[in-house]
């Protein structure tokens, strides 16, 4: 194909390049490694290709700036080591040769060291995160330099023209009960609370845990909506607080648009309106949402209200905390993260109808405090205790593996302080899934109590709505008579069954 593309090639079809690794027929094309035919006949081996790669990277930048290119001078001698298939190797260097097992050992060491450089990525230092000006033109450099003196306070707001352009591109989210929304230039939004309904409100804010602003916006919105769905409410409207990293206007605009477009993607199916908010520039991408929900006052679900004998149901699998901690360390497999993201995008909205249909007694969503943290709040509010079946916990693929690697969320130690809520902690703390009880969740599932005899039908209903991992994970029990007056009972109302 190089010949067919019109590039000058040698008689064997390799791309002919000059000493700057630049095609002799097309000076905007560079070639290195096996595909290149260099003026000085150069062996086609990785040893040479790797050295050429460095010169290539340098010359691409220099060519982009119309600056003189750097010459590639191949090393005059290179060690050749060829394995002979029987754990021996033959070496050739400067006309001499040798063979033996030790040379095989040496080859293994050299190869493993080279590959490890790509598998064990070093941490990026603070210095390396500073702006790399090499490819920036003068205008861009001036803009980047100005970033270091960005204003705070109101001056940290994203510019109004940027904001207007972003707002115009976002889909409209009008609703009858939103009297003044983001399309208007008024100072505040104005919403109606229909007669007979009450307003429920909740707020969340996140630092970005993923480099894709759209996906981040979509998941953050889903997480924030979870609180009103846990109350059995309908999501009506949201106010958004977006922090976008300092940057050139175009980049800020694109990031803000992607973030809000992702949020709107999540809001659309529930008909939730984005009615306003605030946007600012900051050190890193961050996103928060204040959610307004509507519910009939007598139908609002709360953490209190669990009943003796209730089955405890969890709608989504656990493990996002450990998985994303592993992802940051490049230790999580892509398919684990993909599956976790799918769960994080799964809305709790469809479960609300099931909650009402099955007369759920109390409900919460599982987020930062982990399963034990949120269950404890329910038990405390309901003055009851619970038995959790460790083997019944739904778990995200890969979460057990990342926990086995010893990788846990930075919030885990704080959540683990609530081990005092587990009355048989010492007996179960070595069990495989124990750490998952304290794993903080982003956009986690709903946890609720339902009459035990209706649990199976309730799980079926949830699964038919897309919550494939919905499971009964335990049951609610009365406090023992001796426990009622005991402070300890309320401190340790959870028993883990293995």
Ligand X SMILES: Cc1cc2nc3c(=O)[nH]c(=O)nc-3n(C[C@H](O)[C@H](O)[C@H](O)COP(=O)(O)OP(=O)(O)OC[C@H]3O[C@@H](n4cnc5c(N)ncnc54)[C@H](O)[C@@H]3O)c2cc1C
Contact residues for ligand X (CB under 6 A)?
33-35, 44-47, 49
Q: How far apart are CA 357 and CA 363, in angstroms?
A: 14
Annotated catalytic residue: which of 154, 264, 330, 363?
Answer: 154
Shortest reach from residue 342's CB to ligand X, in Å: 29
Shortest reach from residue 120's CB to ligand X, in Å: 20
Strands of 89-93's sheet in order across: 80-83, 89-93, 96-100
Given a contact cutoff of 8 angstroms between Cβ atoms, the answer to whether 384 and 308 are in contact is yes
Shortest reach from residue 31's CB to ligand X, in Å: 9
Shortest reach from residue 46's CB to ligand X, in Å: 3
CA distances from 172 to 81, 264, 271, 423, 478 (A): 65, 9, 11, 52, 50
DSSP H or E run through 167 = helix 160-169
Given a contact cutoff of 8 angstroms between Cβ atoms, the answer to whether 89 and 106 are in contact is yes
Shortest reach from residue 1's CB to ligand X, in Å: 7
- Cα angle 332, 244, 242; round to 5: 95
Given a contact cutoff of 8 angstroms between Cβ atoms, the answer to whether 236 and 292 are in contact is yes
Given a contact cutoff of 8 angstroms between Cβ atoms, the answer to whether 57 and 46 are in contact is no
DSSP H or E run through 322 = helix 320-328
Shortest reach from residue 73's CB to ligand X, in Å: 18
Q: Which residue is nearest to ligand X (CB)?
A: 33
Shortest reach from residue 218's CB to ligand X, in Å: 31
Q: How far apart are CA 497 and CA 475, in angstroms?
A: 11
Which C-beta is closer to ligand X: that of 33 or that of 245? 33
Which C-beta is closer to ligand X: that of 15 or that of 311? 15
Which C-beta is closer to ligand X: that of 75 or that of 120? 75
Q: How far apart are CA 247 and CA 258, in angstroms?
A: 15
Residue 295, phi then psi, degrees to nearest 5: -155, 150
Q: How far apart are CA 107 and CA 490, in angstroms?
A: 63
Which C-beta is closer to ligand X: that of 49 or that of 198? 49
* CA-atom Rg of the chain in angstroms: 30
Shortest reach from residue 49's CB to ligand X, in Å: 4
Shortest reach from residue 89's CB to ligand X, in Å: 10
CA distances from 99 to 77, 78, 87, 452 (A): 18, 16, 11, 74
Given a contact cutoff of 8 angstroms between Cβ atoms, the answer to whether 22 and 14 are in contact is no
154 is catalytic: yes
Which C-beta is closer to ligand X: that of 48 or that of 324? 48
Nearest to 268 by CA among 202, 218, 208: 218
Q: What is the DSSP string of 64-116?
A: HTT-PPPPP---S---EEEE-SSS-EEEEETTEEEEEHHHHHHHHHHHHHHHH
Which residues, including other chains, have CB under 8 Å from residue 203's CB and lie 6 or more apart?
224, 288, 289, 290, 291
| Active site residues per annotation | 154
């Amino acid at each position: 194909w190089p010949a067919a593309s019109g590039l000058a090639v040698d008689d064997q079809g390799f791309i002919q390049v000059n000493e700057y690794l630049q095609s002799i027929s097309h000076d905007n094309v560079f070639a290195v490694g096996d595909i290149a035919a260099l003026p000085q006949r150069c062996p086609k081996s990785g040893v040479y290709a790797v050295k050429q790669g460095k010169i290539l990277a340098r010359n691409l930048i220099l060519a982009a700036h119309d600056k003189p290119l750097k010459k590639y001078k191949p090393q005059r001698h290179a060690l050749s080591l060829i394995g002979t298939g029987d754990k021996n190797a033959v070496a050739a260097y400067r006309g001499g040769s040798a063979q033996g097992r030790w040379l095989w050992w040496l080859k293994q060491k050299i190869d493993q060291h080279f590959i490890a450089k790509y598998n064990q990525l070093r941490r990026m230092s603070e210095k390396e995160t500073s702006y790399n000006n090499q490819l920036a033109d003068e205008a861009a450099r001036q803009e980047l330099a100005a970033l270091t003196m960005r204003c705070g306070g109101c001056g940290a707001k994203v510019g109004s023209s940027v904001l207007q352009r972003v707002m115009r591109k976002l889909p409209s989210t009008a609703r009858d009960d939103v009297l003044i929304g983001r399309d208007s230039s008024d100072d505040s939004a104005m919403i109606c609370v229909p007669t007979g309904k009450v307003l429920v409100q909740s707020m969340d804010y996140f630092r970005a845990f993923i480099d894709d602003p759209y996906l981040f916006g979509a998941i953050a919105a889903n997480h924030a909506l979870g609180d009103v769905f846990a109350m059995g409410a309908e999501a009506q409207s949201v106010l958004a607080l977006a922090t976008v990293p300092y940057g050139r206007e175009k980049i800020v605009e694109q990031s803000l648009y992607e973030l809000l477009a992702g949020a709107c993607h999540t809001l659309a199916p529930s008909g939730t309106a984005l009615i306003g908010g605030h946007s600012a520039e900051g050190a890193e991408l961050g996103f928060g949402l204040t959610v307004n929900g509507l519910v009939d006052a007598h139908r609002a679900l709360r953490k209190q209200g669990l009943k003796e004998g209730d089955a405890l149901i969890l709608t989504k699998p656990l493990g996002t905390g450990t998985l994303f901690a592993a992802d940051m360390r490049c230790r999580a497999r892509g398919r684990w993260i993909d599956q976790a993201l799918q769960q994080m995008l799964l809305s709790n909205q469809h479960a609300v109808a099931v909650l009402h249909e099955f007369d759920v007694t109390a409900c919460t969503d599982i987020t930062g405090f982990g399963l034990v943290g949120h269950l404890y709040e329910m038990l405390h509010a309901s003055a009851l205790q619970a038995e959790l079946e460790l083997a019944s916990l739904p778990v995200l693929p890969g979460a057990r593996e990342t926990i086995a690697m010893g990788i846990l969320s930075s919030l885990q130690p704080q959540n683990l302080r609530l081990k005092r809520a587990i009355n048989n902690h010492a007996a179960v703390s070595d069990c495989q899934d124990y750490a998952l009880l304290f794993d903080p969740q982003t956009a986690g599932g709903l946890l609720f109590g339902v009459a035990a005899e209706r649990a199976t039908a309730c799980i079926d209903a949830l699964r038919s709505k897309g919550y494939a991992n919905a499971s009964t994970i335990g049951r609610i029990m009365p406090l023992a008579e001796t426990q009622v007056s005991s402070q300890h009972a309320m401190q340790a109302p959870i028993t883990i069954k293995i």
